[in-house]
Amino acid sequence: MIELATLGGGCYWCLEAFYQRLKGIEKVISGYAGGHVDHPTVNRVYEGDTGHAEVVQLSFDPSVITYREILEVFFVMHDPTTLNRQGNDIGDEYRSVIFYHSDEQKAIAEDMMANFAAPLYPDPVVTQLEPVPTFWEADETMQDYYNRNPYAGYCQVVIDPKIQKLRKQFADKLV
In order, the DSSP letters of 52-119 are PEEEEEEEE-TTTS-HHHHHHHHHHHS-TTSTTEETTEESGGG-EEEEESSHHHHHHHHHHIIIIIHH
Catalytic positions: 11
Dihedrals phi, psi of 54, to nearest 5 degrees: -70, 130
